[in-house]
Chain A
């Protein structure tokens, strides 16, 4: 065949891709299916020529080659086989409404699940077996009643509308809900699941949620019951209608039967809805999961309440505590400031005392130093005044600490010179610091 043209481009070679001879084998083909090629047409004949290549194939090879070939045609007889109930074979087709159409076709175990092609094949199989023309040809004068049953069954089952009508009342497909006794023995899911699978056949919405098991989540279980409590069913009951007389004479009678039928259908539909509801109720009642979820929920609720109460209590306590704490802090602060105040007072007093004391030392020192006169020289009143004035002046200019320092220097000194030196130094320091001028001193520092 000619090469096809592809307009989309090949990708750029990735950076660093290298391979010997520029080819990298990676995988292998997945397996293949053995099939027959049709031995038809010029291309096949060319293929055959190549494949034979002067060889002759044997009968054995024929069998061997055919062994694994995928089959494409089903056997007409099909896989559907079911023994025929002799009583069923006696049925009268006139009573077709009473027959089990699936059993007639040998599809009892498939029922509403039978596919269209299954029905067709089943029909053909029965057809081949029971055809009246065959029986007549075989010289048997058996009536063709069962053949008619087969035809009727096929007619009903291959017509989607009629099939639904029949499936609606096909009790053989029903699965009875477990009795109380059975239910008590346990096996809830095993007992109920088939019931809902069977009921599910009437659902307009497919697929239908499954009952699930112990591990189903609350959501799944809720979905399940919601689905079944809001079940949208196509089930209808016209199949059980009373025959409407089709002669034109008795029109009233006809209308009467029709009305009766209509009412009966409605009634049955209502009953069916109620039946299903009751069934779901019953299942729900026995569903331990509901109790489990309730319990979990209740436990959850209680816990929430306790939690809430605890929280409230804690909140209250916290409030009280907080208030107490605040009070405590306030008191503490108060206390502290009291102490502080007291201590401040003390310190002040102490400082005052110290100042007083130091002042005494300072004043005393000049007295001890004979008012800074050489020993033996008597200080006159004037001298005393002058020196004391100087001392006063210095004391007025210096801070308590300086005073304390000065006092400590002077403390214990007895010799006038030494005392005088200390004072001179002090005065000098003060003059240097610009606190006052030398001229302000009469004696000290001179």
Chain B
């Protein structure tokens, strides 16, 4: 497929990048010729570029430079605007913009009143226009780095981005000279970033993507099936994210300052802005070391301020917020009709996910079998701040050759909307400790059809005739109570999250077991030789009809049979 020309005057070469565009930060990434996603640093060397624009006498500042303007030039600094795109004023939350240019109602959209030209006049600049300017700056940084003009992109957006928001994003991007090839959801982008690694193995697994950002936290529970992703549940929280952690440190240091100086630096916008920037830096430092210092020249009333804080103290202050993030994950797993034990992987994404304590808490929440992918729990984890941009870059490289129509058709609901199995399909095997036989899943539930899965089974030691019994299975949780060994005294003092104090003496041991459901078919493989193996393949059609094949590995022939499709395919209003 080549770029279509269709009489357009510019036969353009598509240079596509991936963009993650958050309220707090944005990142740009490209896919190298070896197929590896790489994050691009802008001219200032930043890989996480604050989504902020600031204007001084008509000059535009972007990213980190713009962020530092929050102290002196807050009224002409536009920040935390991504979520306003494509929304009307009534439905936005202006909280994050309290210390920068305020959003205001502008016709049916949102605008910021700023002095963005050399003249003294206040201009209403719509959020769409701000977005265009922001994307233009991002694309330009990418073009500089890549040495060729970037003119297309895949952008990651939250799962609850509305159609109107997507439309506004497309237009804003277009206006920046960047064709928006596709918007992909942030959690999916994170999963793709991991799956695109050369050593990644495509397996059926349940993944929780926990995206802890600056102004929001988003959880997505994803069924990853044969390299395809279906989102089972999501939740969003705008009250528990990086900004609230900054606030804890702001309050902590402010109190310290008040003790010495009798003034509250939070009462003065400039002092507060300074304190906020430094508190955030301190917070980030605490993700790396056990101690962090903070030093601000002329914090308030011309008084300098310097202090330190250690990680333990910080984690105590933040225990409640951390606990709330953990609970949010539990809730979202439950919302997907799953159990904590069903989760195979947790991908920590977003800047706040650098916080070691958050992933440690998750290690305790999940079973030891669950992989927690975060810098502090897995050395090979990908930088959480970059996941969405990397995923977007991978997708961009996959579709940059497609024309618009092609992309539209491939992402059409007729293609994406698919029946997903309600139960697992598997085969009964013999195990020492059960007389009834044991269910072994071949196809997991929530697998989109059509699908095909195969398993190679051992035969009885002496070979002979064997039975292949294909069934549906449902996962169940078996709970056994065990007397807890009484421990003297309290739990370790680093136990800082909000465990209930009235703990029982009994400990519950929970494990995953299979409940055998409908028997689908029986098949016989006769005369299997000693030490032989049997391969069973289950193929589920798009209409939920099933084809089962079974044969002795290395032998000719075998058995093949069909099962009718069920009479009705229920919709998802379960």
Contacts and interface: CB of A to CB of B under 8 A. Distances in A.
B458 A29 contact: no
B184 interface: yes
B132 interface: no
Contact of A124 (B238, B448, B573): B238
A76 B234 CA distance: 12
Interface residues of A, number: 81
Contact of A131 (B93, B231, B238, B423): B93
Interface stretch (B94-102, B260-268, B376-384, B477-485): B94-102
Interface string B405-433: 00001111111111111110101111100
A116 to B, nearest CB: 7
A39 to B, nearest CB: 4
Instruction: Count chain B CB atoms within 10 A of each CB in A33, A128, A133 and give the residue with the most.
Output: A33
B235 interface: yes
A184 interface: no
Nearest to B91: A128
Given A1-B202, A3-B455, A133-B95, A33 B574 contact: yes
Nearest to B413: A65
Interface in B158-178: 159-160
Interface string A44-74: 1101110110001100011001111111111
Contacts of B461: 9
A21 B562 CA distance: 12
B144 interface: no
Contacts of B534: 10
Contacts of A71: 572
A433 interface: no
B472 interface: yes
A425 to B, nearest CB: 94
A4 B455 contact: yes
B548 interface: yes
Interface string B212-235: 000000000010001111111111
Interface in A385-416: none
Interface stretch (A11-19, A222-230, A301-309): A11-19
Contacts of B427: 6, 10
A41 B559 contact: no
Instruction: Count chain B CB atoms within 10 A of each CB in A34, A61, A71 and give the residue with the most.
Output: A34
A31 B182 contact: no
Contacts, number: 348
A10 B457 contact: yes
A123 B463 CA distance: 66
B20 to A, nearest CB: 14
A11 B437 CA distance: 8
A127 interface: yes
B79 to A, nearest CB: 13
Contacts of B502: 204
A159 B460 CA distance: 59
B283 interface: no
Nearest to B196: A41
Contacts of A45: 398-399, 410
B89 interface: yes
A138 B91 CA distance: 14
Contacts of B431: 8
A38 B429 contact: no
Contacts of B559: 21-23
A8 B430 contact: yes
A325 to B, nearest CB: 63
Nearest to B189: A40
B409 A57 contact: yes
Contacts of A69: 413, 417, 571-572
Contacts of A129: 90
A51 to B, nearest CB: 5
Contact of A9 (B97, B98, B416, B457): B457
A169 B33 CA distance: 66
B128 to A, nearest CB: 18
Nearest to B182: A39
A19 B566 contact: no
A87 interface: no
A73 B457 contact: no
B533 to A, nearest CB: 9
B410 A48 contact: yes
B568 interface: yes
Contact of B418 (A3, A5, A37, A73): A37
B561 interface: yes
A7 B414 contact: no
A41 B192 contact: yes
Contacts of A128: 90-93
Contacts of B562: 25
A68 B414 CA distance: 12
Contacts of B421: 29, 32
Nearest to A115: B331
Contact of B320 (A36, A51, A159): A159
A27 interface: yes
Given A6-B455, A19-B522, A70 B409 contact: no
Contacts of B10: none
A73 B159 CA distance: 8
Interface in A128-149: 128-129, 131, 133-134, 136-138
A36 B417 contact: yes
Interface of A: 1-14, 17, 19, 21-45, 47-49, 51-52, 56-57, 61-62, 65-74, 76-77, 116-117, 120, 123-124, 127-129, 131, 133-134, 136-138, 154, 158-160, 204
26 contacts: A6-B456, A8-B457, A8-B458, A10-B429, A13-B526, A25-B564, A28-B546, A29-B563, A30-B423, A31-B570, A32-B421, A34-B420, A36-B417, A39-B410, A41-B229, A41-B394, A43-B226, A48-B410, A49-B410, A52-B410, A65-B413, A69-B417, A70-B573, A116-B331, A117-B331, A137-B103
Across the A-B interface, give the 7 residue pairs with the lowest CB-CB distance, nearest first. Answer: A70-B572, A43-B227, A68-B571, A23-B561, A32-B419, A65-B413, A3-B454
Interface of B: 89-95, 97-98, 102-105, 159-160, 182, 184-185, 188-189, 192, 195-196, 202-204, 222, 226-239, 320, 324, 327-328, 331, 391, 394-395, 398-399, 409-423, 425, 427-431, 437-438, 440, 442, 446, 448-449, 453-461, 464-469, 472, 498, 502, 517-526, 534-535, 537, 540, 544, 546, 548, 559-574
